[in-house]
A and B are shown apart, each in its own frame.
Chain A
Amino acid sequence: MNPAPLVALVGNPNAGKSALFNALTGARQKVGNYPGVTVERHSGRMSLPDGRPVELVDLPGTYSLEPSSPDEAVTRDVVTGTQEGERLPAALIVVVDAGNLDNHLRFTLQLVALGLPIVVALNMIDMAERDGLKLDPQALSEALGVPVIPTVAVRRRGVDELRAALAEAVGDGASRAVAGPAVPPADMSALQRRARELSKIATLSETPVRRITHGIDAVVLHPVLGPIILAVLMFVMFQAVFSWSEAPIGWIEEGFAALQGWITASFPESMLRSLIVDGVIAGVGSVVVFLPQILILFLFILLLEASGYMVRAAFLMDRLMAGVGLSGRAFIPLLSSFACAIPGIMATRTIDDPRQRITTILIAPLMTCSARLPVYAVIIAAFIPAHDVGPGIGLQGLVLFCLYLIGIAGAVLAALVFRNTIAKGAGSGFLIEMPRYQMPDLRDVLIGLWQRAWIFLRRAGTIIMMVTIALWALLSFPQAPAGQSQSEYSIAGRIASGLEVVVRPIGFNHEMALAVIPAMAAREVAVSALATVYSIDAADEEEASQGLVERLQGRWSLPTALAFLMWFVFAPQCLSTIAVMRRETNGWRWPFFALAYLFGLAYVAAGATFWGATALGL
């Protein structure tokens, strides 16, 4: 049986392509990857009016057929039939912004020259009218020689007409392979002149541009008000991430704990029960518990992106980010990483320059995420006296603040080094279109949220599960004879003894070496692991940390405790982050590099802290 004909959705960035893709395919979408590159392949099924199925693929937005990024190269290769693992489309839907014909028609002309059957979707026609443009789709169709259908993707207007025109363009479904692999050489200026002529033909009347957008920009890009509004928005976002996620995280933890309790109570003690309770369920739990924060952060990121504000935020922050060789685009991913590096790294997709994107991914784990707080809280409570160093400034709070600053300083240094070594190159700087503001469409946002959640659960989840089970095995085998501690006797315990030799010079003791191994799953596990090795029986984390504070005070010296804090500023003790790095960079090279450089930094920083503090006689 022949596969359904392939139809590709092509267009400039900000033409409303993804909204049209959602309108045409509904929720029947698949997100995959093109082989060998980190470019997502969004595809979905739709049926033509006569009932025939068609596979629709949403190609990355681009301004021309001369690519300046891997995404844009995929678009060129698909429409010319040279993309590995993709057949030549039977037809193209070219999406153009009705309010920006001058610019978008140039790319349309390039695509028409390829010779594939084409339907043009004159999208966002309502916004063009709002901005005082009166267009003549018929005249444009005649001038271009292809059907032109006015659409409003977010309101599902024109979708049926588009389907009908597409049925005609697809014809018998056989791809008319008139397009060769060669892209016709483009004279950009000539194309641009022709595009302007066409735009004039299609425009019946126009008035000055974009009143609403200019009105909003006058406020949000104001030299004084703009940064204040950005700061308030970011503050609200962080408040939401922490306060809204608290309850769902509690439910997830309780749910998994209840499941573990039920299985423990219902089945006799065995290796299998231990594998299921401590390996599988604990593993799945450690993945799912990240979901509330990821979903809330992505809700904000998707809303900022869809409304058009994201580029404005990048515009305001570009100067600051340029100082470390990045662009304003890196600001939101890095800021998100203060809540959790996982959505931060996933959000780097909006950075078009590959070298800046890699740099951002590599430094994201240095932003102090929420999982470090339980560790910091215990150690600070145990070793930093709770007295004031100034009016209203407590020493404990000051130390915590310094830990955040050290993380940022480390990130700044690392970014500067990477941008001058492994990720060297001027890159594309910051040269970007600021789209019109628009009301985000609820359905488009929900589809985006669902896709992010699914990618995280499926792709990262499988890796995290495997490693969690491996960790379980390391901690469970071989089984300790009666009277001996399992954590000491296990393989992990023996590794810890080996590790102790390595970490002894930076002031770590055997218990600390034993605690950092399970903390690879997630940083906060260090607290319960320390509680275990100091044999504290506690019902929950809070109780454990209270008992732990007292135990630690007698057993660790201050230099040792400070070294442990410093270790957690840098150490990449989060499998989920590593798994997401693998997924986002499409290979193990960068995750391994991140592990090496972050552990290296952690070792040096902890060692320097230990010896510095010892020399000072602390």
Chain B
Amino acid sequence: MRLDILPLRQPMHIDTIDWAALSPGEARRLRELGFDAGVTVETLHRAGWLGRGPIACRVGRMTIALRRSVAAAISVSPATVPAE
């Protein structure tokens, strides 16, 4: 499932990130903010009417806001171990 359509408050594992779909700047910042395969991620909030704005999600102990276009490059699957 893609992160941009993931329902709120469902901890998932990041399977893959399609780095090629992102600009070099976005890709680097995403890594710097702790996004990587195997990391647990959970969407917390969606901004804007009809949820078309950016998404806030939890990665590690941080909350990160990102646009849906970036979230669409991140594939997630159900966590096999309970979230921390």
Segment from A316-324, A448-456, A582-590 that makes contact with B: A316-324
**Does chain B have a CB within 8 A of A64?**
yes
Give A221-257 as 1s and 0s: 1 = Cβ < 8 Å from B's Cβ atoms. 1010010000000000000000000000000000000
Bound Cα distance from A328 to B67, whole angstroms: 11
The answer to whether A328 and B84 touch across the interface, beta carbons within 8 angstroms, is no
Interface residues on A, range: 35 or more
Contacts of B25 in A (CB 8 A): 68, 427-428
Residues of A within 8 A of B60 (CB): 100, 102-103
CB nearest neighbor in B for A214: B44
Within 8 A of A (CB), among B5-39: 23, 25-26, 28-34, 36
Known: A68-B25, A99-B61, A315-B65. A431 touches B45 (CB 8 A): no
Least CB distance from A390 to B in Å reads 28
The stretch among A17-25, A112-120, A205-213, A374-382 that forms the contact with chain B is: A205-213
Instruction: Find out whether the CB atom of B48 lies under 8 angstroms from the CB atom of A319.
Output: yes
> When the two chains form the complex, which single residue of B28, B44, B47, B64 contacts A432, counting CB atoms closer than 8 Å?
B64
- Please determine whether B48 and A63 come into contact, CB atoms closer than 8 angstroms: no
Question: Given A100-B61, A223-B46, A431-B66, are A68 and B29 also a contact pair (CB < 8 Å)?
Answer: yes
* A370 interface residue per 8 A CB criterion: no
> B29, A430: Cβ atoms under 8 Å?
no
Q: Contact residue range for chain B?
A: 20 to 34
When C-beta atoms are compared, the residue in chain A nearest to B24 turns out to be: A68
A206 vs B61: C-alpha distance when bound (angstroms): 11
Contacts of A427 in B (CB 8 A): 25
CA distance A226 to B61 in the complex (A): 23
Complex Cα–Cα for A223 and B46 (A)? 7
Q: Mark A430-442, 1 if CB is under 8 A from B, else 0.
A: 1111100000000
Contacting residues of chain B (51-81) with chain A, CB-CB under 8 angstroms: 51-54, 56, 58, 60-67, 69-70
Question: Using Cβ atoms and an 8 Å threshold, which residues of chain A touch B28?
Answer: 64, 66, 68
Point out which of A103, A430, A431 has the most chain B C-beta atoms below 10 A from its C-beta. Answer: A431
User: How many Å lie between the Cα of A433 and that of B31 in the bound state?
Assistant: 12
Considering the complex, give the chain A residue whose CB is closest to the CB of B48: A319
Question: Which among A102, A426, A434 is the interface contact of B65 at CB below 8 angstroms?
Answer: A434
Residue of A189, A315, A318, A430 touching B36 (CB-CB under 8 A): A189
Q: With an 8 A cutoff between CB atoms, is A70 at the interface?
A: no
A26 on interface, CB distance cutoff 8 Å: no
A188 contacts B by Cβ under 8 Å: yes
B residues less than 8 Å from A213 (CB atoms): 63
C-alpha spacing A320/B52, complex, angstroms: 10
- Are A103 and B33 touching (Cβ within 8 A)? yes
Which residues does chain B contribute within 8 Å of A210, judged by CB atoms?
A: 61, 63
- Given the contacts A63-B33, A217-B56, A315-B56, A430 and B67 also touching, CB distance less than 8 Å: yes
A179 is an interface residue with CB less than 8 A from chain B: no
Is A221 in contact with B56, judged by CB distance below 8 angstroms?
Answer: yes
Do A103 and B34 contact each other (CB < 8 Å), given the known contacts A217-B44, A311-B65? yes
Determine whether A192 belongs to the interface, using a CB cutoff of 8 Å to chain B.
Answer: yes
Would you give 20 A-B contacts (Cβ < 8 Å), ordered by A? A63-B29, A63-B33, A68-B28, A102-B60, A103-B62, A192-B34, A192-B36, A206-B84, A209-B58, A210-B61, A223-B49, A318-B48, A430-B67, A431-B26, A431-B30, A431-B64, A432-B64, A433-B33, A433-B62, A433-B64
Which A residues have a C-beta under 8 Å from some C-beta of B?
63-64, 66, 68, 99-100, 102-103, 106, 131, 188-189, 192, 206, 208-210, 213-214, 217, 221, 223, 226, 311, 314-316, 318-320, 322, 328, 426-434
Given A99-B61, A103-B33, 8 more pairs with CB closer than 8 A: A192-B31, A192-B36, A208-B84, A209-B61, A318-B47, A319-B52, A432-B65, A433-B64
The 10 closest A-B pairs by CB, nearest first: A319-B53, A63-B32, A319-B48, A434-B63, A221-B45, A102-B60, A315-B65, A188-B31, A318-B54, A431-B66
